[in-house]
Amino acid sequence: MGKPVDVIQSVRLDDENDTLILLDQTVLPNEKNFLYLKELKDIWDAIYHLKVRGAPAIGIAAAYGVYLGTKHSGAESYEELYQDFKKAKEYLASSRPTAVNLFWALDRMEARLRKEEGKAGAEIKEALKEEAEKIRAEDEKVCKSIGHHALSVLEPGWGILTHCNAGTIATAKYGTALAPIYLGQEKGYDFKVYADETRPLLQGARLTAWELKEAGVDVTLICDNMASIVMKEEKIQAVLVGCDRVAANGDAANKIGTSGVAILAKHYKIPFYVCAPLSTVDLACKTGDDIHIELRPSEEITSKWYEKPMAPEGVQTYNPAFDVTDNELITGIITENGIAYAPFTESLPKMFK
């Protein structure tokens, strides 16, 4: 069997059939099911319900989605076409509030639309498709570059802890935090990966463990509350995580539980790296306090994965989808243009040059 990094595309466009094709990540690892979506409401639903997830994959899906939402506009003028585009853009932007790639991709699509003003409607729509394809192709290149930079701070044979899923199915290819694992495997680094299960949606158990096992990587699944003991037992030499948004000061929002892993890593003096494409770095966001944290339904905690509810009926729950890791806990932020170190207010802007 080929590696998932080679054979699985989690987001792709079938333009001939006006269809966005998504790997449904909600049914993994039991089913490998692809969704064929034509309607904007179904694309919105797929983003909101995490059928497509991972900041880069969300951005790619949104770019394709807003293109498809504009493709069949019957607008006769640029202004009318622009209004149809804006409606599609604003609708898709309402699906997830935290992942900056969603807004970044939609804004980039709007910028391309503006650039095409004065051209015929068919030309503008073709330009939107071209821009969406560029976003996908660039993400693949970005992920590979992040992987190479990450390998520069890792040693063969190391134990690597990761949280949530920042792999090939969360991106165009390679992943962010898992990119060095795949590239290291090609070079014979023989990493031993420990994957946190990542409650309550189990992205580590269902997704990371699945794709790494499929790829033949040495992967061990642990419960979230086991991170401390594997660190204490010196099984972990580095932590690699992905990210949904990085603030200008280096605070980083990622899947809930990430900040706890960072605190443990600091205690055990283990380097903690955030793998973040520059599209997730938001220099307009001053600190992590400015990042809006999405709250999810209580059912994800109490009953989603169980035959019977595993909590008292009606109990109050608090279910934030993300937390923010303080910059002082982060060893480095690995981007496609290099690794940013503290002070991040100085190093992050340099990554864009």
Provide, for the chain, the percentages of residues in helix, strand and coil under a 3-state DSSP scheme, each rounded to the nearest 5.
45, 15, 40
Q: Which of 215, 221, 228 is nearest to 202 (CA)?
A: 221
Domains of the chain listed by start with CATH number = 11-142 (1.20.120.420), 150-351 (3.40.50.10470)
Task: Say whether 296 counts as a known binding-site residue.
Answer: no
Instruction: Answer yes or no: 244 catalytic.
Output: yes
Q: Of 139, 224, 244, 251, which one is the catalytic site residue?
A: 244
Task: Say whether 203 counts as a known binding-site residue.
Answer: yes
pLDDT in tens, the chain (353 residues): 445 556 578 999 999 999 999 999 999 999 999 999 999 999 999 999 989 988 889 999 999 999 999 998 999 899 999 999 999 999 999 998 776 889 999 999 999 999 999 999 999 999 999 999 999 999 999 999 999 999 999 999 999 999 999 999 999 989 999 999 999 999 999 999 999 999 999 999 999 999 999 899 999 999 999 999 999 999 999 999 999 899 999 999 999 999 999 999 999 999 999 999 998 899 999 999 999 999 999 999 999 989 999 999 999 999 999 999 999 999 999 999 999 999 999 999 999 98
Task: Say whether 255 counts as a known binding-site residue.
Answer: yes
Structure tokens at 121: 């409607």
> CA-CA distances (angstroms) from residue 285 to 54, 95, 206, 321?
20, 20, 32, 19
pTM: 0.86
- The pLDDT score that the predictor gives to residue 2 is 43
Tell me how far apart the alpha carbons of residues 231 and 218 are, in angstroms, rounded to a whole number: 17
DSSP annotation string for 272-325:
EEEE--GGGEETT--SGGGSPPPB--THHHHTTT-SS-SS-TT-----BSEEEE
User: Is the previous residue joined to 29 through a cis bond, with omega within 30 degrees of 0?
Assistant: yes
Instruction: Answer whether 192's CB lies under 8 Å from 159's CB.
Output: yes
Task: Say whether 206 counts as a known binding-site residue.
Answer: no
| Residue 278: CA count within 13 A, CB half-sphere | 17
Structure tokens at 108: 């980039």
